[in-house]
Structure 1
């Protein structure tokens, strides 16, 4: 059965294009990106780009770019974050968002930052030696084959497709399918190729994910977490002709899979938030709108502070009035008769005031009862 997770992640918006890879080329990744962006800007394919200073995001280099698609009617903003160098190269994360739902026929955001020549070395899968734009033959060893496919079936960032060769293909059939895919899919899809005799081992390895590869066909792996209600049969193709003809059914399956609501992979939510909220490549109109928003925010904050101050002042005035009224009422009360109490007054002023009234009542009753008692005593004396 497909693996599942109890963590509820936000769904990837249909306007967002995500990819993650690794640069292993000999040239410096920053130089490659700068050169590619400048060429696109000179040709008019790119409106503008901006490389943020190193101090802005310690541990990574961030580059922003903006361009238009759909004959200039839709703006795309993209952010590429390049991690520090490691023994396995430079990991990159590319997040792009358009003003409309993404059309896979639009240019790939990856080609705006990276060159399209096959030897550029930027198109490696982030965690493995797999390539995005090349055929990745499955290992001959069954144990290694299972390891590769299980990792591919759980990968949330890339789209993995397994193609089975019904018979050993010729040189044309051994070419990758990536150039035949729509531009928006070419740098997100990892193609795994199984030889004719590997079909049983492949399906055995994928059995735990409820996925099977048809003989001579292909299947799109679900990723982890799998989309809600994922049906592997809906993304399975019964035949893929490796003759360089357009793989219509496979393209349809990949396009439908990418269009399904899928949870954001780990790290993608932060990348998307940075694209939306930490954007620096602003047009003049956007800068003006941002300043107006800041002014409105400050005005609201000032108004809230003023209201709070007025409410506090009004409460203080009421408190002073109540205290003055209490003092006036305490001044007109008569002093209690009898010896002063040795007890230290305790309780609130209201309790002390209540006790004073009680003592006054007791003294009044005592004065009224005194003469009557004397009269009764005199009568009794005369009669004896």
Structure 2
């Protein structure tokens, strides 16, 4: 990634309450402008005519309205990502209207038979991601100084480099919680051949060792040889595909990205499936502060022991907008119990990076 882009969308009701969401737009560099135009030209004109008083109903109506355009344009990804950001904003607005923190509203959707503990704000475990091979040990040490106690390194840069990366971080802290992300770098046979060499590093999971469109047979063959749980989900983009992956791939960890597909409405159903099948839900996220905070609320609502992904590379569009929220302490963060996302987004702090809307 040569630059960090974010695209945020807000919805305002007649009482002046505002809900916020984030649209995935990491690449290409023109992706944010393109999706912004879609929001302006396709989605904004729909809002005033939507019927319903629940985010799931409104999300379904948006999906119905853009269905034919998706088919005609084949713009599945950008349209779905815009819909995901809009859905997230509507849920934030709904929680504010109810006067409840978003994690509590989402939890009621998932686990309505269990009354949440409202005596204190929830704490969730986090891990430091974005640890590249170059300077992996130094990045890990810096992340530890910033309050992290769990880490994920990037693999897929060649056998020798991958082993050097793992050896470097294990020499720094041999007992630390450690996962690895191959970013779909290998085919099935290459991944299977690597498993004995990765086993000594005691990985909490191995993320996307093969392509997200690999066959279920390939995933099953790899899972049978893997000494660690396999993880995937950020590049799955349909509920039916999530169901196949959860039932047929042998995954231990599922990682949907709510800014990339589904928003809260879609990912709530994925979390339901995870809970039913005893697969750990750990949201994928790489973007700005609003999407990270949204991911944290859904993780808190899931009632599982998953971890929140926190990129440790410098990004003021993440840190400055959050104005001190989601700062890890001994590997945990605490969510606010204020309504909605529970955070007054510090837009003034990032004004020098704001681009004008396309005209």
TM-score by length of 1: 0.26
Higher relative contact order (CA 8 A, sep 6+): 2
TM-score by length of 2: 0.27
